Structure 1
Amino acid sequence: MPHEPQPHTLDAEAVRTWSSLAVAALGRAREDIDAINVYPVADADTGTNLLLTAESAGRALDEALGDVTEGTPPTSLARAVRAYAHGALTGARGNSGTILAQLLRGVADVLGEEPAPREPGPLLARALTRAAESAYAAVAHPVEGTMLTVAAAAARAGRTAEAAAGNAADVARAAYDGARAALAETPGQLAALGRAGVVDAGGCGVVAVLGALWQALSGQEPAAEPVRGRAVPVPQPPEPCAHAQEGPGYEVIYLLEASDESVATLRTRLDGLGDSLVVIGGDGLWNVHVHVDDPGAAVEAGVVAGRPYRIRITHFGDERRRARGERVQRAVVAVVPGEGLAGLCGEAGATAVLARPGEVPAAAELLDAVRRAHAREVVLLPGAAELRAVAAAAAEQARADGVRVAVVPTRSAVQGLAALAVHDPDATFDEDVVAMTAAAGATRYGELAVAESRSFTSAGICQAGDVLGLIDGDVAVIGTALAETAEAVLERMLGSGGELVTLVLGPEVPDALAERLEAYVQHGHLAVDTVTYRGGRYCAPLLIGVE
């Protein structure tokens, strides 16, 4: 006769098991959750974002548990849950992933207390309550019928079980059941869900994570039958998102190092720029998520508040077309050095990854962007020579997911713009990649930078403060003024011919420089056209492309 499974201790190993089971549960449910994602934006990525956030949390937890050498004391519950929550904070994706990260932070705020509890049931109930409260506080305008509602119901059910002298497994089971019941009610609470005939996608993720917690503490697997909506058993009209509001055009996410006071001001500023604002974190590190029409302003607000990094800007165009039933076969992902360039890529239908000077995006960030594109075929534009290896690694991982990926070896943002200009989603994949590669290869690229110290270059010795004119990655001109150096670089680049000059201005460069350079080109090269863009913060003073 089989033995009844015994409750497990609420310790670091239980957190590791919870993490592993949560990733597995979200992995199984990812496509189903994506399919019912209609709120707040019908971009079919809630399941993917929840999974990526849980994977990031799990990696941080594994690092915390894995660096203990033989003979040292085991990792405490407090350290484990804090590492788990920190990994979710730094790797949170999208609106749903950001809220999940805040839920885990709330759990860690309570379970992170020392010493380990003798009666973990009441502590877990308090942790679930703190999780729901902190998630509500992180969202600028909480809406009922969402994953917030599901988390709050789970916390109430957990407190009821704790009051009945339940242990940690009993509290987790009650929270799981309470979340399932609340999820089933979400179509009646939120009009967008009711019209589509689906339950809340983020709420499905909360149910999956709580089911994993109960399994980790009890040793019992949740019931095989899917939660309503998890496997999309509810009826859906042909265009479930037809009534969804268009809303802002961009999603902006970044990590931010800033004080509590600065973040309070940032919340107010971002709330006036867009919607779906969620700011999570504390102790000097925050994760900021917002939907806006002006991504540059959202990033600028972060710069005023502190130090933003790992900036991601995503255009919603393709996601909304997909939600209306227009399938996207192919997508483009481009790495760019400024939010202005990210906006240009978004207008062209590409997903942008924003890279700050001196910071090379990890392969995981590029893979995340590829996954967010939700396409069978993806063209990846790394935008810098040092990113080719990272792009290749991301492409290899994406191919393992069944996505066909090609890396066009762009070495500058202006080559990426040239490739995007000839991108043809109606052509075959190979034809499109060949055309984009040819356009990038036919574009010479230049850049102006300011020397930080005295050094030797291919054009001679430069002093700190000199203006360096680079052509195809090598220093070709050393000057003392931006305008004169730019003219010298243009003259050399146009010496071998050209039909179009692209100028991308950095944040501190005046419009007068663009006007001067346009006049310079027209005077000496009548048949050459010139276009000018603003690159945005973090962009070099001047980027030049000659096609």
Structure 2
Amino acid sequence: MAPEDDARMDGRALMDWARESVRALESHRDEINALNVFPIPDSDTGTNLVFTMRAAVSALDDLVASGPVGEAPGVHQIAVVLARGSVVGARGNSGVILSQVLRGLAEAAVGEHMDSAGLGTALRMATNLVSDAVSYLVEGTIVTVLRCAADAIAGIDPGTPVARTAAVAADAAAEALVRTPMQLEVLGRAGVVDAGGLGLVVVLDALVKALSGHAPDRDFARFRPRGNLPAAVARRGDSTPGDHAPGDGAHAHDHAGHDHAGGDAQGMDFEVMYLVSRTDDTGIADLRERLDALGDSVVIVGDGRGSWSVHVHCRDAGAAVEAGLGAGDVRGIRVTSFLLESHRSGEAGRVSHRSGEAGRSSPVLPSPEDLSRAHTRPERRRRGVMAVAAGDGAAELFTGEGATVLRCDEPITRGQLLGAIRKMERSEVLVLPNGALPAQELVAVSAAARDSDHEVLLLASSSMVQGLAALAVHDVSRDAGDDAFTMSEAAAATRWGSLRIAAERALTYVGTCEPGDGLGLVGHEVIVIDPDPRRAVRRLVDLLLGTGGELVTILLGADAPAGIGGELTEYIEHGHPGVEVMVYEGGQPGDLLQLGVE
């Protein structure tokens, strides 16, 4: 039986679809990016979709690596993992909505296979999830395209080959995409289709290819804007021209949740995204209400397993983060400038360079002189990395990797961090805070540091060992947003712990510690208490390596017990064969040592 005649989809086909989606989105990334005209014509929808789907596939790869060799998990198990990975790694509105397509699959899948009826249920559930997630729906967007795909296969015969059903859904999505310029006025004025909607068609076509062996033949070139975008669209008519900071750019792509006045992101300075856990439906409802009062384009989606991805455009980034802190545990905070300060009189606007393309339209088209200056920018204006570090050895490690170091042997203030960033005289600054300041303080620093000449991106590093892992993959030749995302991924993939000595009697999650006890922490939580610090750190190592690892980085503190580095190296080599160990003299106060596991 040919693949296209199969009545059901199995786990292997679903895995093929996830990976084919990444390849297809990468292939069409530039086409999708070029379509953004609302609210400003320079964005990264294709990039956001690629990174979101990559995050889903990365979670899938972890699942496959941990399972029996040669066996493919069932549809339900795969769909759940894809949904969770995409929610955690979602970038921008369209990435958030794509995560709900995957969650719809997870909610509809009940076993090892999925038939045509199940696929229809999945798209319907995805539509409902997105409709619930977006505060104010706008027609002519990715949400419209998704709904039309779901409507096309509603009530389909379960015996219909699933490849044929997928093709019907993809064709319906493509037809809906063509109608988006007639539904959303700004698209019609520009003569383009919705960028997020095109991304969804690409993903559905990838499903068809995974199930049948061949993708639908579509003329995507006809969706490209002809020449420069119309001046009325490029200047947004009723607003002061402004630069859009490079990076996520998600506010401009799919417009699924813009302000209920029916307009754009006018007046909103920041895009804020983060993940919330340890909350419930009531907490999320209260969070949505608070964010609706703070700004617009509010989208909150869950992975069905207790984690929520939050997105909002607002003027007060700190208040948006504080709202999340009131709802539950917040992590993965990302703040992007939405509308930078107005241009100086006569200034033509910044030129954006992405994926090797020069001269793409800015909010105001650049002059030849502007282009020349962009290509001859002095070396001192290139990207730099600011790392917060404690201890002479740790500072030397970061400096040796090209970072500018702000010492935090004593507690630092946000004013000190802001001043250090400004002294760097770099147009793009990636900040590795390494746990030195709380999230709300960092958001305030990032917001204050940005201006028309500087883009500041905060990376999610909670310790120096995570910061070192992030710095190892730093690549100045990449787009700043891509570089920051890759570095943040490296930091997040590094499990970290530390060894401390209890200063006083205290109650922890694992019992009561006495003064002088060795405390083993994973992240910020005590998980080991032992009167012998050397024994405590060995137990900590076993726990950190219990879920695997290939490299352990040990950063020795100023008060580390003599010889502890060599002892731990020998212990790991004997107890965990194949794991590489790197030991450095950090010299940091407080932690006797920090451990990073990659």
Task: Name 2:82's counterpart in structure 1.
Answer: 84
Deviates more, 1:269-278 or 1:233-242: 233-242
Q: Alpha-carbon deviation of 1:192? A: 1.7
Contact 1:197/1:234 (8 A) holds in 2: no
1:350 aligns with 2:451: no
Q: Separation in 2 of the partners of 1:239 and 1:394?
A: 41
1:131 aligns with 2:131: no
Task: Name 2:365's counterpart in structure 1.
Answer: 325
Task: Name 2:138's counterpart in structure 1.
Answer: 143
Task: Name 1:339's counterpart in structure 2.
Answer: 443
Contact 2:169/2:204 (8 A) holds in 1: yes
Alignment of 1:56-135 (within 5 A): 56-70=55-69, 74-111=72-109, 113-114=110-111, 116-117=113-114, 120-135=115-130
1:392 aligns with 2:471: yes
Q: Alpha-carbon deviation of 1:220? A: 1.4
Contact 1:102/1:138 (8 A) holds in 2: no
SS at match of 1:29: helix
Task: Name 2:385's counterpart in structure 1.
Answer: none
Q: Separation in 2 of the partners of 1:24 and 1:164?
A: 29
Correspondent of 1:278 among 294, 299, 307: 299
1:77–1:237 distance in 2 versus 1, CA, 3 Å: same
1:127–1:403 distance in 2 versus 1, CA, 3 Å: closer
Task: Name 1:188's counterpart in structure 2.
Answer: 182
Task: Name 1:428's counterpart in structure 2.
Answer: none
Task: Name 1:293's counterpart in structure 2.
Answer: 315
Give the unaligned 5+ runs of structure 2. Answer: 237-263, 342-348, 351-361, 376-381, 383-426, 485-499, 505-513, 516-598
Q: Separation in 2 of the partners of 1:392 and 1:353?
A: 13
SS at match of 2:220: coil
Q: Alpha-carbon deviation of 1:114? A: 2.7
Deviation string 1:77-115 (CA, Å, 9 cap, x unpaired) is 11001111111000000111111111211121102x135
Amino acid paired to 2:212: S
Contact 1:16/1:62 (8 A) holds in 2: no
Q: Separation in 1 of the partners of 2:59 and 2:481?
A: 27
Deviation string 1:330-359 (CA, Å, 9 cap, x unpaired) is 651332541111211234631322547xx2
Q: Alpha-carbon deviation of 1:234? A: 8.4
1:69–1:452 distance in 2 versus 1, CA, 3 Å: same
Q: Separation in 1 of the partners of 2:203 and 2:107?
A: 18
SS at match of 1:107: helix
Contact 1:39/1:200 (8 A) holds in 2: no
Deviation string 1:303-335 (CA, Å, 9 cap, x unpaired) is 111111010001124699533335777651332
Q: Alpha-carbon deviation of 1:393? A: 3.2
1:78–1:248 distance in 2 versus 1, CA, 3 Å: same
Contact 2:268/2:339 (8 A) holds in 1: no
Q: Separation in 2 of the partners of 1:285 and 1:452?
A: 33
Q: Separation in 1 of the partners of 2:446 and 2:52?
A: 23
Amino acid paired to 2:458: V
SS at match of 1:63: helix
Q: Separation in 2 of the partners of 1:310 and 1:403?
A: 15
Q: Alpha-carbon deviation of 1:42? A: 4.2
Deviation string 1:363-410 (CA, Å, 9 cap, x unpaired) is xxxxxxxxxxxxxxxxxxxxxx656634433423x636799989xxxx
SS at match of 2:428: strand
Q: Alpha-carbon deviation of 1:227? A: 6.3
Q: Separation in 1 of the partners of 2:180 and 2:298?
A: 21
SS at match of 1:334: strand
Task: Name 1:168's counterpart in structure 2.
Answer: 162
Amino acid paired to 2:364: R
Alignment of 1:11-26 (within 5 A): 11-26=10-25
Deviates more, 1:219-228 or 1:258-267: 219-228
Task: Name 1:6's counterpart in structure 2.
Answer: 4
Give the unaligned 5+ runs of structure 1. Answer: 361-384, 407-450, 456-462, 465-547
1:214 aligns with 2:230: no
SS at match of 2:477: helix
Q: Separation in 2 of the partners of 1:181 and 1:154?
A: 9
1:223–1:290 distance in 2 versus 1, CA, 3 Å: same
Amino acid paired to 2:474: A
SS at match of 1:399: coil
Contact 1:32/1:232 (8 A) holds in 2: no
Contact 2:38/2:187 (8 A) holds in 1: yes
Amino acid paired to 1:353: L
Task: Name 2:35's counterpart in structure 1.
Answer: 36
Q: Alpha-carbon deviation of 1:34? A: 1.1
SS at match of 1:392: helix
1:43–1:249 distance in 2 versus 1, CA, 3 Å: farther
Correspondent of 2:266 among 242, 246, 250: 246
Deviation string 1:187-241 (CA, Å, 9 cap, x unpaired) is 1111121122211011011001000011111111221521642x44688425643
Q: Separation in 2 of the partners of 1:227 and 1:151?
A: 21
**Structure 1 length-normalised TM:** 0.63
Amino acid paired to 1:114: G
Q: Separation in 2 of the partners of 1:354 and 1:177?
A: 40
Q: Alpha-carbon deviation of 1:141? A: 0.5
Deviates more, 1:150-159 or 1:310-319: 310-319
SS at match of 1:75: coil
Amino acid paired to 2:190: A
Amino acid paired to 2:84: H
Q: Alpha-carbon deviation of 1:75? A: 1.1
Correspondent of 1:312 among 327, 334, 345: 334
SS at match of 1:254: strand
Q: Separation in 2 of the partners of 1:310 and 1:46?
A: 20
